[in-house]
Amino acid sequence: MLVSALAALAAALVAGLAEAVLAGAGFWPGVCAAGFAAMYAAPAGFALALLVRALWRSWRPLADDPARAAGGLAFAALAILLAALAGWAGARLAASLTHVPRLAALTIGAAAVVAGALAALASAPAARALARIVPAARVPSAAAGLAAVLSLLLWPIAPYLTIFAVTLVAGHAATGLRRRGAAIAIVIAAAALAALTAYASMTRPEALVDARRATLGGLAIRASGR
């Protein structure tokens, strides 16, 4: 759990500062955007990490059967990818066909059902292929790498989420996070960001206005009522 907490903090710090740089924000607006985004992203990342840990523990009995483990990984990956594509395609299709909310929701729901059916159909051949390529011991690493690759699809929409997801996965894979020095450095950096954000939000209101340009940082500021 400590590694997950540190990885979530590190991911929030890296993603927030990277988004501020990409958005062209100055120092104080960038600090505000990163700080407010971290208020939501760090707990969400920690909760997501705990959920994945619980999921993996429930799958541990499959570790002795490479085919079943690879099949579960294949189905999960296909279901996530196809559901995401279905949501995007369904929303685009609904927007072009109708402006009636119920019909639009029905269109997106139908696209999600089709995506689930395709994932179920493709899971068996994908499982056989993965069982030949990925040994059971490598399934966690393969799943982490796949999650990082899939997160790249979010880059055109929200670079913050891509950087956050990749850093979160890398943080769990890095054994250095288990060292006391790395843990202390991450906690100090998070505390410094929180202090600077609080200072800027109280003394530099113009920084909050400028920080709204940052994608998710600006949304977090508005969600906080600032």
pLDDT value at residue 123: 65
pTM, two decimals, is: 0.68
Query: Alpha-carbon torsion 211, 217, 219, 225, what sign?
Result: negative
pLDDT at 94 over 60: yes
Name the domain count of the chain. 1
Tokens found for residue 32:
């505000």
> Domain range holding 40?
2-223
In the predicted structure, residue 78 carries a pLDDT above the cut 70: no
98 band by pLDDT with thresholds 50, 70 and 90: low
